[in-house]
Amino acid sequence: MVKLLQNSGVPIYQQIAEQLKTDILAGRLKEGEYLPSIRGLAKDLKISVITTMKAYEQLEAEGLVTASQGKGFYVNAQDSEMLREQHLRKVEDSLLEAIHAAEIAGMTDAELREMLGTLLDMKESQEDL
């Protein structure tokens, strides 16, 4: 379920949103299923109501869930195109992080490209086995 880190630097609401998003994209939370009630989740996670609410609002803004008056938030149908876009964004984020790390390590762009190439080759050869 949801694991929260108090001192990770990532806001709590974002941690909740990310973990629920992963559950939705992986199909563990299915279309039409309701998320836990805002105040129920706040109680279970020992956090404030507003933090949970903000997490849910973020999921709603991303089109993953819909708020239904008086009933809470339910999971939307995930169309494959949007799903792919979500995954693409994740790849982009991870690559940006790698670029940042490379800058710190003083790697040149060419070295970074080479490393990516090597990693892809390694993965390919592993799959061939």
Partner 1 sequence: MSESRKSKNITQAENACEDTKWADGKRLEKEWPGRAGSQAIRARNLQKKYKGFELSVPQLEVPKGFATALIGENGAGKTTLLNLLTGIRLDFKGEISYFEQQEKMSDSVQERIGYTGPGCYFLPHWTIGQVEEISSLLFTNFHREAFRTLCEDLGIDRKVTETVKKLSDGNRMKLMLAAVLARNTELLILDEPASPLDPLMRDKLCDMIREYLEQGAGERSVFFSTHNIADMENVTDYAIILEHGNIVEAGFVEDLKEKYILVKGEAEDAEKAREILFSISRSAYGFEGICLARNLDRLAGMDIATETPTLSQISVAVMKANTRLKL
Contact footprint for partner 1 (CB under 8 A):
9, 11, 13, 37, 39-40, 42-43, 46-51, 53-54, 57, 67
Least distance (Å) from partner 1 to the CB of residue 40?
Answer: 5
CA distances (Å), origin 25, targets 79, 85, 92: 10, 11, 17
Q: Which of residues 46 and 128 has its CB atom nearest to partner 1 in the complex?
A: 46
Using alpha carbons only, give the angle 122, 123, 128 rounded to the nearest 5 degrees: 95
Q: Which of residues 39 and 100 has its CB atom nearest to partner 1 in the complex?
A: 39
Q: Which of residues 50 and 101 has its CB atom nearest to partner 1 in the complex?
A: 50
Q: How far apart are CA 105 and CA 32, in angstroms?
A: 46
Least distance (Å) from partner 1 to the CB of residue 81?
Answer: 27
Q: Which of residues 13 and 64 has its CB atom nearest to partner 1 in the complex?
A: 13
Phi-psi sector, 63: left (phi>0), alpha (psi -120 to 50), beta:
left
Least distance (Å) from partner 1 to the CB of residue 4?
Answer: 10
- Write the CB contacts of 6 (distance below 8 Å, at least 6 apart in sequence): 12
Secondary structure element (H or E) that encloses residue 72, with its range: strand 72-75
Least distance (Å) from partner 1 to the CB of residue 123?
Answer: 36
